[in-house]
A and B are shown apart, each in its own frame.
Chain A
């Protein structure tokens, strides 16, 4: 009996010391971790809306966020949309900026992906993929061009697919079009 009480005592003691230590450490690291998370999103917003100075969230769900992008006078210049969708292999997380009338997509940034290295993973590559996404018309959604074209030959709502990774490219287009539908409902 005595040994059993001692057993419980030791285990409780170890657990209490450990959680105390962790609580202290958590309090110490928490601000840095939050800063990192915020910095990543803020940096992405700056990149996808040209000339944005500050932003405020309108929709803030875990898998879908909309941020209002404001200029230095506090006037709205566009929206930044954060969304997650299914790719070829796993989830793809992207951020894109659109103008305040929901007509033009400024640019696209891929935040997180686990596509095949060397093929689908090129969705993060500027020359192979992202540069075609500059200033696209989104009134009727984005489409993949039937075959690879030069930038200036692309229609205003078309983007090029990555050669050898059509499925990943198509997945990104679908993620953006789905998100645009939601944005149109949220932002009136």
Chain B
């Protein structure tokens, strides 16, 4: 039950993009086409899940027992950077088609604050190993959801008559604001 709450909360109520403001750069940058939004979302979900699997043991089995919590930020960011490189190499060797779909997005993920943010928030919330993994999957899917909805709207927006000075980032931000408003309706889904 607790796992379900964590899942729904990270997916909808406290959506990483629309409520925590994590991963805004790719949200604004890669949301102009539906197909690339899906690929980016998949890549982030994938890396986030692996990050969950790897960072929890690092924090709770290495840093905490040896009182090295102050190395949290340094070790997390290095692990994530190494992880992304490794995943990229692995995908390139194993699946050509998957690499074509995700390849160019992977290097961008290292500096995507959603990943590091997720690892830090999981520690802050004191989740167990299983909870952290569920949280990672849900946060990644929540990011994908926001990105895909946004891309869908922006593809339609191309045909709309937007005032000249609002074209580009301006209207994207305003649309994101309205999207965030509607996501607020999910609050209270869990009782």
Contacts and interface: CB of A to CB of B under 8 A. Distances in A.
A25 B70 contact: yes
A60 B142 CA distance: 34
Contact of B74 (A19, A25, A116, A171): A19
Contacts of A25: 70
Contact of A22 (B70, B188, B191): B70
B56 to A, nearest CB: 15
Contacts of A67: none
A111 B60 CA distance: 26
A23 B9 contact: no
Interface string A87-113: 011110000000000000000000000
Given A62-B126, A90-B14, A19 B191 contact: no
Contacts of A91: 125
A167 B191 contact: yes
- How many of chain B's residues touch chain A, expressed as a range? 10 to 19
B71 A86 contact: no
Contact of A167 (B13, B69, B71, B188): B188
A7 interface: no
Contacts of A146: none
Interface string B172-190: 0000000000001001101
Contact of A19 (B5, B9, B71, B125): B71
A86 B188 CA distance: 10
A89 B71 contact: no
Nearest to B189: A88
Interface string B112-144: 000000000000011000000000000000000
B187 A89 contact: yes
A63 B187 contact: no
A187 interface: no
Interface in B77-107: none
Interface in B55-81: 69-71, 74
A22 B73 CA distance: 11
Contact of B5 (A22, A86, A88): A86
A18 B188 contact: no
Most buried by B among A62, A90, A116: A90
Contact of A90 (B9, B70, B126): B9
Contacts of B69: 26
Chain B CB count within 10 A is highest, among A62, A88, A167, for A88
Interface in B5-53: 5, 9, 13-14
Nearest to A90: B14
Contacts of B14: 89-90
Contact of A88 (B74, B125, B187): B187
Nearest to B190: A86
Contacts of A86: 5, 190
Given A62-B126, A89-B14, A90-B14, A22 B190 contact: no
Interface of B: 5, 9, 13-14, 69-71, 74, 125-126, 184, 187-188, 190-191
Given A90-B9, A167-B188, A171-B191, 9 more contacts: A19-B74, A22-B70, A22-B71, A23-B70, A63-B126, A88-B188, A89-B187, A116-B187, A170-B191
Interface of A: 18-19, 22-23, 25-26, 62-63, 86, 88-91, 116, 167, 170-171
Please provide the 4 A-B residue pairs with the shortest distance between their CB atoms, ordered closest to farther: A26-B70, A89-B187, A62-B126, A88-B188
20 contacts: A19-B74, A22-B70, A22-B71, A23-B70, A26-B69, A26-B70, A62-B126, A88-B188, A89-B13, A89-B14, A89-B187, A89-B188, A90-B9, A90-B13, A116-B184, A116-B187, A167-B188, A167-B191, A170-B191, A171-B191
